[in-house]
Amino acid sequence: MKMSFRWYGTGNDSVTLSQIKQIPGVEEIVWALHNKQPGEIWEIDEIAEVKKELDEYGLGMEVVESVNVHDDIKIGLDTRDQYIDNYIQTLRNLSQFGVKVVCYNFMPIFDWTRTDLFHPLPDGSTALFYEKNKIKDDPKEMADYILRETKGYTMPGWEPERMEQLSMLFEKYKDVDKETLWENLKYFLEKLMPVCHECGIKMAIHPDDPPWDIFGLPRLIVDEESVTRFLTMVDDPYNCLTLCSGSLGANPNNCVADIIRKHCDRIAFMHIRNVKHYENGDFSEVSHRDQDGDTGILEIVRALHDNGFDGYVRPDHGRHIWNEKCRPGYGLYDRALGIMYLLGCFDMLDRLNG
């Protein structure tokens, strides 16, 4: 297992590489070229710049999150082949720098969705929160809220340029039902797999967050059944998961540890975070400590450990604590605490079994 930390790049993140370097156990930076639009090729010289920065701190760049998938691929338009070719070129370029895992999602239009980015918790910190009743039919209000609250930082999937085109995007997706989306995902992955073998890069899909349909848009990777369907649909060791405990764990019927026990060999990347459920369907993100939420963090770590997980882990979102001003969910302090908790669990299991 390799511990990693997501970083948005110089000038685009409140956290610095020198701070990350001081968190015990972090070997890899989870990175991306955040200025790139879906469908654009990531050029060699742009990737080389990131490498130069990370090399200075002795931090690796083996995991990319995310190379985003162009909507035309998800919708299945004729133009998709050109965008798939570009994606393939990006994979080839990334492989020259030793990238091993590419995280992506196949969610139509929106990436992860929350209704409150700074919800107060009883201990005085704030965290990301989802209030079911606030997700109405019209996503415009949500989009405006998110753009306002991210305070200058763009949130992946909610970039202002995309949000300006919301009605056009909804129109393009109007005939895309769940089965069509599955077909388009299969088409995309089948084109990519030979290149992934050649380049040694695993494609690791991120589950849909929250794991249910929103705004009338279909969502695919939502539970154990759909994860199994996904892995068998393209049954290839390079077709993998970014298993996000917080995304799947938002549905109280999902047991993330069970999914790990069943599919550990196909998990390339773990996002570990904890969620607390409310009876009315709302949920709040909480600290990584097992007792603070309902996700079963200890069981998750145990399942990874017992099944010999050898992929990458990152603490997913953290709370905002000690008055930190940061990207929603992506501060330094609580994610660093999360790492220490998770490494404590992994180290203890190693010691007990060693």
Q: Which residues are catalytic?
A: 206, 244, 271, 316-317, 330
34/37 Cα distance (integer angstroms): 8
Residue 317 CB, nearest distance to ligand DNO (Å)? 6
Looking at beta carbons only, is 107 or 199 nearer to ligand DNO?
A: 107
Looking at beta carbons only, is 31 or 341 nearer to ligand DNO?
A: 31
CB 57 within 8 A of CB 18: yes
Residue 58 CB, nearest distance to ligand DNO (Å)? 25
DSSP lists the bridge partners of residue 285 as 275
Residue 283: which H helix or E strand, with range? strand 283-286
- Burial class from Cβ neighbours inside 10 Å (0-12, 13-18, 19+) for residue 25 reads middle
| Residue from 1, 9, 4, 106 nearest 62 by CA | 4
Structure tokens at 206: 């991120």
Tokens 């990737």: give the residue: 47
List contacts with ligand DNO (CB under 6 A): 65-66, 103-105, 111-112, 156, 206, 244, 271, 317, 329
Looking at beta carbons only, is 112 or 309 nearer to ligand DNO?
A: 112
15/9 Cα distance (integer angstroms): 9
Residue 328 CB, nearest distance to ligand DNO (Å)? 9
Residue 91 CB, nearest distance to ligand DNO (Å)? 15
Looking at beta carbons only, is 271 or 319 nearer to ligand DNO?
A: 271
CB 128 within 8 A of CB 114: yes
Looking at beta carbons only, is 30 or 337 nearer to ligand DNO?
A: 30
Amino acid at 50: V
Q: Which residue is nearest to ligand DNO (CB)?
A: 66
Structure tokens at 134: 């606030």
Residue 272: which H helix or E strand, with range? strand 267-272
Residue 5 CB, nearest distance to ligand DNO (Å)? 13
Structure tokens at 100: 């091993």
Pairing type for strands 101-104 and 60-65 reads: parallel
